[in-house]
Amino acid sequence: MTCLKHALTVCLGATLAFAASVAAEPPAARDLGRLERSFWLNASLASPTLGYWGASFPRPRRPAGVEIANAARLLTRDAAANRLYLIYHHELPLDEACDVFLAWRKACPPEVELVPTLVLRMYDKKQTPAFTTDELASLCGFFKSRLQVRRVAVYDVYAKRDQGAGLAVLAKHFPSSLVRVGLQPGEPLAPPFVAAVADTWSGFCHGLTNDDWRSPGFGAGTLRKWVVARNNGVASVAWDLITVAWDYSATKRGEYPGYDDANKNQPLPAGRNCLAVTDILAAAAPGKLAGFSSDLLILQLNSASAAHDGAGGAFYETLKQGRGYDGFYAGPWREITAIYQTLRAGRPLPVK
């Protein structure tokens, strides 16, 4: 609780300086407690290799039921999530994956929505399909009959990729309820998708200090433009909150260094998520803001670097062990959980 209070104090200090420039809608006009507060992460709680980067990698260890229960408790109780996008890319056989999804459902409170999130094409050079159409049809049947989900999602951080024949299978089984996770800035949200979680990385990271971030041509203005542009669409969008920023040591004011290196990437500056949430709440049109999400896959991959927490201290390992993450990226992680807890209580962020 002390860490959460500290994170909210950081949010308050950063936001007070910014609030006067934001024509925010009065908090009473929004039902903040109903906003999406989600995370996306691998259902198997394993770093993505097999079925993600290709088919020649070893199969990961299936998580034990107690490990899933630990992760569910930390994410839904302590971190206040009301939705989890559980990524599956065929790293486990279908029958084992179904058991894993059922374990997540058992471990999560009934009010927490689980959204199976599939990688349809791998990230190898051939962009190999991760599933056959028959496998996807079987999965959809399981999701509907056993997991009883309302929607499924497709995960892809590359813009405008052809998702192949598998997308039609998902659309047939889940008409009007497909979500695109990882939608890129400027990428149109095309049918059959009806909602999205939007990537925000450069909009959040661009700026060494929060004053730099607010400067003309830096991240705050870019983020506002993205939100306003989505206001013109027909779909509601959840916006990604950030733990892992790029390497700030290579530039003077936190400009993009020209690379993404898990050994060098740094935590997002303190208060930045809180400022961004305030700005998004102000800029999003009614009915177009689904809420907020956060990418825990990137947190896993960067925390696992030997330069940061190493494999034993990586984020997924702390989830499985049931202990709070206090590693290299703990600052922004705690800030996000503080924001989620505040929204869960239906309270606006502390601005004046």
Query: Does 351 reside within a domain?
Result: no
Query: Does 352 reside within a domain?
Result: no
250 DSSP 8-state letter: G
CATH assignment of the domain containing 312: 3.20.20
Query: Does 238 reside within a domain?
Result: yes
| Residue 262 near residue 298, CB atoms below 8 Å | no
Could you give the C-alpha distances from 118 to 87, 229, 260, 272, in angstroms and in order? 6, 27, 24, 30
Query: Does 125 reside within a domain?
Result: yes
**List of residues 6+ apart from 31 with CB closer than 8 A:** 346
Could you give the C-alpha distances from 14 to 140, 319, 344, in angstroms and in order? 45, 29, 21
Pair of tokens at residue 63 = 């998580």
Query: Does 350 reside within a domain?
Result: no
Query: Does 80 reside within a domain?
Result: yes
Pair of tokens at residue 136 = 């996807």
Query: Does 90 reside within a domain?
Result: yes
Query: Does 349 reside within a domain?
Result: no
Distance, in Å, from the CA atom of 343 to the CA atom of 27, rounded to the nearest integer, reads: 11
Domain tally for the chain?
1
* Averaged pLDDT, groups of 10, the chain, 352 residues long: 45 42 41 95 98 97 98 98 98 98 98 98 97 98 97 97 97 97 96 97 98 98 98 94 97 97 98 97 94 98 98 97 98 98 90 44
CB atoms within 10 A of CB 148: 9
Q: What is the pLDDT of residue 28?
A: 41
**Chain-centre distance for alpha carbon 63:** 21
Q: What is the pLDDT of residue 349?
A: 82
Q: What is the pLDDT of residue 55?
A: 96
Distance, in Å, from the CA atom of 290 to the CA atom of 284, rounded to the nearest integer, reads: 10
Could you give the C-alpha distances from 286 to 30, 119, 127, 230, 233, in angstroms and in order? 9, 31, 38, 12, 12
| Full-model pTM | 0.92
Give the amino acid at 211.
D
Give the amino acid at 276.
A
What range does the domain containing 241 cover?
Answer: 2-344
Q: What is the pLDDT of residue 30?
A: 54
